[in-house]
Amino acid sequence: MIRPLPVMLAILLSLFVTSLTIGAAQVSLRAAGSDAWAALVLMESRLPRTLAVVLTGAALAVAGTVMQQIVRNKFVGPDTTGTSESAGLGLLLMTILAPDSPVWVRMLVASLTALAGSAAFILLIRRLPAREVMLVPVAGIILSGVIGAVVTFIAWRYDLVQYVGTWLAAGGSSGIIAGRYETLWVAGAAAIAAWFAADRFAILGLGDNVAKGLGLDPAPVMRLGLMVVSVVSALVVVTVGMIPFVGLVVPNIVSRIMGDDLRRSIPVVATAGAALVSACDIIGRLVIYPYEVPVGLIMGIVGSVIFLILLYRPTRPST
Amino acid sequence: MIQIRNVDFQIHGNPILHDISTSIPKGQLTALIGPNGAGKSTLLKLIARLEKLQSGSVRIDGLDLSATPTEKLALVMAVLSQHTHVSSRLRLCELVGFGRWPHHHGRPSAHDRAEITRALELFDLTALADRFLDEVSGGQAQRAFLAMTFAQATDWLLLDEPLNNLDMAHARALMRHLAGLVRDQGKSITVVVHEINYAAAWADHVIAMKDGRILAEGPPADVLTEPLLSRLYDVPVAVGTHQGRPLILHHV
């Protein structure tokens, strides 16, 4: 039997190396030791960008798994539940109210508004009939739309529509250099925290009654999950813009292949998410070389195709 | 022993339970019976701390429910709820494995793994252990949830309609099995059952509920009588005997 984790790690490693060698400047990895200019390009531009993409993909995919567990619905991700838009709202408010604030303050505020948005989503879906599985993603998309509309309206009033559009589409992704991406390690840490609580999320996914019966109070697990999803979404939106579909499709693919034993599956989810976003980033850098297309755009196209395939292809039996 | 004192319960102002006081004996198989809406499941949920007590008190083996941490209660009683619909894709062995979680909180020992194997065997699931929950029948899934509850290895088992989804053979096997656990391992098991003949055939103690009140309680032979059951369900029933136990004829 093929073990998913080593396979995904191998794929991710090759994508990682590929990402280091692609770019407008022609740089050889071997030359980095002797050539100071090559080392500069690698350490200040290529490596930070590659790490940013890997961290983003891994953290978003894990956040998607967590979201799907706490909502108990496979058709949601951080980008379809109002979380990312709420983070964008926080970012916009900081741009208007405190344009000179340091980046960590913006991230904190974006995390808090993301948390408020996710909490609003949870409160909203609790009022929906439990059996109507498809109402949950619909409610999420409507909430995302409403918050997105508020963002657009405020941006329009302050003549910031273009700024917001550029930011959400690309963030700083094309310009990621050393000193700009490091906060994404916090998103990575949030994903690792999710792995430590993997059993708790898996039990929460079985329902509040099962969790209580096993002596696990659902409320703190829910709060931890919302924090993970919000922090990851906010940091990603602030640093690299909105990356759609990762948190939706990667957990679904991994769940189809190896099920929802999260302690085993979260590492696979993280590597697969990192590999998918890396691949999309590489495509984005090659299609109009030496110029580039934002990774979010490529991810939107690739992700929607994968999602359609997942919807139409039934799950394979395990035996 | 579970002692229930002066328990009232309301949902949105509608009274569901009225001043319930009773006790459930230790080391026996107790059946909660009664018509739909009698409050059986609500009472079971209150005992299992799945619903919060609004008034009164529940003590289980001397532990006050509202003062004992939920992790500690998970080592004393295991609960199977109704409507255990799960969207997670879990293998049966993984699901049953969660029954051991209260004991190891994430670091299973060899003993925990042995208990999981034993629970799978007991519920006839060994061959299905690697199947996903969405690939087995409703009855097999129900047995997997029962095995999870059993793997928790608690003195008390509280089961809300465990016979749901089970065919005749598996329903009988389950009741026989529960009676065996009580007899051989000294477990205390409380079940909500709708098919009254399972209570008649296997229970040691019966609690009959109607309209949020306890109508009668005691050994099956005392509770499962023609006048009482006719009053309980508002339909005439005939009660015979079979192998020394009541046999209720309610379907004709």
Tens-place pLDDT, residues A91-140: 899 989 998 888 888 889 999 999 999 999 999 988 887 677 788 899 99
The whole-angstrom separation of Cα A79 and Cα A77 is 5
Tens-place pLDDT, residues A70-96: 999 998 998 889 998 999 999 899 989
**Over 70: is that where the pLDDT of B14 sits?**
yes
DSSP label at A179? T
Going by C-beta distance under 8 Å and a sequence separation of 6 or more, which residues neighbour residue A264?
Answer: A258
B88 vs chain A: nearest CA distance in angstroms?
6
Going by C-beta distance under 8 Å and a sequence separation of 6 or more, which residues neighbour residue B171?
Answer: B163, B195, B198
Q: In this predicted structure, what is the pLDDT of residue A173? A: 47
CB contact, 8 Å: B76 with chain A?
A: no
Interface of A with B in 204-233 (CB under 8 A): 205-210, 212-217
Give the percent of chain A with pLDDT over 70: 95
CB–CB of A203 and B101 under 8 A? Answer: yes
Q: In this predicted structure, what is the pLDDT of residue A174? A: 47
**Over 70: is that where the pLDDT of A141 sits?**
yes
- Give the pLDDT band of residue B153 (cuts 50, 70, 90): very high
- Give the pLDDT band of residue B128 (cuts 50, 70, 90): very high
Domain A4-312: homologous superfamily in CATH: ABC transporter involved in vitamin B12 uptake, BtuC (1.10.3470.10)
CB–CB of B89 and A206 under 8 A? Answer: no
The dihedrals phi and psi of A10, each to the nearest 5 degrees, come to -65, -45
ipTM over 0.95: no
The whole-angstrom separation of Cα B101 and Cα B50 is 18
The dihedrals phi and psi of B32, each to the nearest 5 degrees, come to -95, 120
* Assigned token pair, A129: 């009939």
Q: In this predicted structure, what is the pLDDT of residue A32? A: 74
Tens-place pLDDT, residues A51-66: 999 999 999 999 999 9
CB contact, 8 Å: A50 with chain B?
A: no
Closest listed residue to residue B187, CA positions, set B195, B178, B196 = B178
Tens-place pLDDT, residues A144-181: 999 999 999 999 999 988 888 877 776 654 456 556 78
Q: In this predicted structure, what is the pLDDT of residue A171? A: 62
Which residues in chain A have Cβ-Cβ distances shorter than 8 Å to B69?
A: 215
Domain B2-76+155-249: homologous superfamily in CATH: P-loop containing nucleotide triphosphate hydrolases (3.40.50.300)
CB contact, 8 Å: B114 with chain A?
A: no
> What average pLDDT does the structure give for chain B?
93
**Over 90: is that where the pLDDT of B165 sits?**
no
The whole-angstrom separation of Cα A64 and Cα A85 is 15
Tens-place pLDDT, residues A260-286: 999 999 999 999 999 999 999 999 989
Q: How many CB pairs under 8 A join A and B?
A: 93
**Over 70: is that where the pLDDT of A250 sits?**
yes
A61 contacts A269 by C-beta, under 8 angstroms: yes
- Which residue in chain B has the smallest CA separation from A195? B106
Tens-place pLDDT, residues B59-85: 999 999 999 999 999 999 999 998 767
Tens-place pLDDT, residues B170-203: 899 899 989 999 999 999 999 999 889 999 999 9
- Give the pLDDT band of residue A242 (cuts 50, 70, 90): confident
The whole-angstrom separation of Cα B186 and Cα A24 is 75
Q: Which of A14-23, A165-174, B55-64, B237-246 has the lowest mean pLDDT?
A: A165-174
Give the percent of chain B with pLDDT over 70: 100
Higher pLDDT, A306 or A25: A306
Q: Where are the domains positioned within chain A?
A: 4-312
Q: Which of A287-291, B30-34, B62-66 has the lowest mean pLDDT?
A: A287-291
Residue type, A77: G
Q: In this predicted structure, what is the pLDDT of residue B10? A: 93
Which of B74, B91, B134 has the CB atom closest to A213's CB atom? B74
CB–CB of A210 and B50 under 8 A? Answer: no
- Give the pLDDT band of residue A229 (cuts 50, 70, 90): very high
CB–CB of A216 and B70 under 8 A? Answer: yes
Going by C-beta distance under 8 Å and a sequence separation of 6 or more, which residues neighbour residue B122?
Answer: B147, B150, B177
A101 contacts A91 by C-beta, under 8 angstroms: no
**Over 60: is that where the pLDDT of A45 sits?**
yes
3-class SS string, chain B? CEEEEEEEEEECCEEEEEEEEEEECCCCEEEEECCCCCCHHHHHHHHCCCCCCCCCEEEECCEECCCCCHHHHCCCEEEECCCCCCCCCCEHHHHHHHCCHHHHCCCCCHHHHHHHHHHHHHCCCHHHCCCEHHHCCHHHHHHHHHHHHHHCCCCEEEEECCCCCCCHHHHHHHHHHHHHHHHHHCCEEEEECCCHHHHHHHCCEEEEEECCEEEEEECHHHHCCHHHHHHHHCCCCEEEEECCEEEEECCC
Q: In this predicted structure, what is the pLDDT of residue A318? A: 54
Q: Where are the domains positioned within chain B?
A: 2-76+155-249, 85-153
Closest listed residue to residue A112, CA positions, set A137, A87, A135, A94 = A87
- Which residue in chain B has the smallest CA separation from A216? B71
> What average pLDDT does the structure give for chain A?
88
Give the percent of chain A with pLDDT over 90: 57
